[in-house]
Structure 1
Amino acid sequence: MTEVRPRGKTRMPAEWEPHRSTWLSWPHNRETWPGAFEAAEKAYARLVQVIADSEPVDINVLSEDHRTRVRALVGPTRYPIRTHLIPTNDAWCRDHSAVLVHEAEGGLAAVDFRYNAWGGKYPPF
């Protein structure tokens, strides 16, 4: 990936501003959810169902098997669910995803905060 600095000022959109979809990463690390993994998956499935009643949802998944499981748990939705094979340490999208900001000229830029998983606690993330 090539690092490019935004031209001019950028602005992070507010949570309530119009957007094309909501991004999530699906839970997969059972160590992060001791005794609650199945409940976490059920909660995520319900969250996706509610969001997908109003807009598309993009979900990062670990593998093809994971993709199949996620689709089965979520079931049919009004708006599309798009899954992406993107390895993550777990469901914390705010930690491992880029943050999109608006450029002054109207374009979008992705900001990478170079998150290091709490000082390297979860290698290789």
Structure 2
Amino acid sequence: MTTSPTPADLGFSMPAEWLRHDATWLAWPKDPVTWPDRVPLAQSIFLQMITLLSAQERVELLVDDAATEAVVLDRLKKMAVNRSNLRFHHIPTVDSWIRDYGPNFLLRDQGGSVELAFNHWIFNAWGGKYEELRKDTD
């Protein structure tokens, strides 16, 4: 059996959440299973998060398509968002909890410079408990 080295074997580590970072990654909420009767409220809170975060750092936002991007931008018009710190990515998702299925960024010290990498989780929807969420691993 051939095994690949782990990121730790290669000298990479995941930085602590509270350390300075360049961006926060979010996925636009829309799933009524995740947010039963609360999708509009979740979206409103995400708009507030985007506004507050964009004042200090880049926000990388996953939306399903250009139409969803246009809706989000229209809703942000009334808010003090720093548009230069907001980037959209047209990547269809089911769930908004990107930490469960999205990449984690890893760092490795290269003698004074830092190398950035990421790992790609193979998300199994908590052992198949929520089969509809397996789509987020694609």
Query: Same fold, TM exceeding 0.5?
Result: yes
Matched-pair identity in %: 29
What amino acid is the match of 1:25? A
The reply to whether residue 124 of structure 1 matches residue 129 of structure 2 is: no
Unaligned runs of 5+ in 2: none
Q: Distance in 1 between matches of 2:75 and 2:34?
A: 20
Return the offset for 1:72: 1.8
Partner in structure 2 of residue 66 of structure 1: 68
1:33 aligns with 2:44: no
Larger radius of gyration: 2
For the Cα contact (< 8 Å) 2:93–2:135, is it kept in 1? no
Correspondent of 1:93 among 95, 98, 101: 98
- Check if 1:82 corresponds to 2:102: no
C-alpha distance 61-8 of structure 1, shift in aligned 2 (>3 A): same
Task: Could you tell me which runs of 5 or more consecutive residues in structure 1 were left unpaired when the two chains were aligned.
Answer: none
**TM-fit CA distance, 1:5:** 5.9
Secondary structure of the residue that 2:135 maps to in structure 1?
coil
Measured after TM superposition, the shift of residue 9 of structure 1 is: 1.4
Q: CA RMSD in A?
A: 2.1
Give the drift of 1:16: 2.3
TM, length-normalised to structure 2: 0.78
CA displacement 1:6-59 (0-9 Å, x = unmatched):
472111111222222111011122232111111110011011111111112110
Name the counterpart of 1:53. Answer: 55
Distance between the aligned counterparts of 1:19 and 1:53, measured in 2?
14
Give aligned pairs, total.
123
Query: Structure with the greater relative contact order (CA < 8 A, sep ≥ 6): 1 or 2?
Result: 1
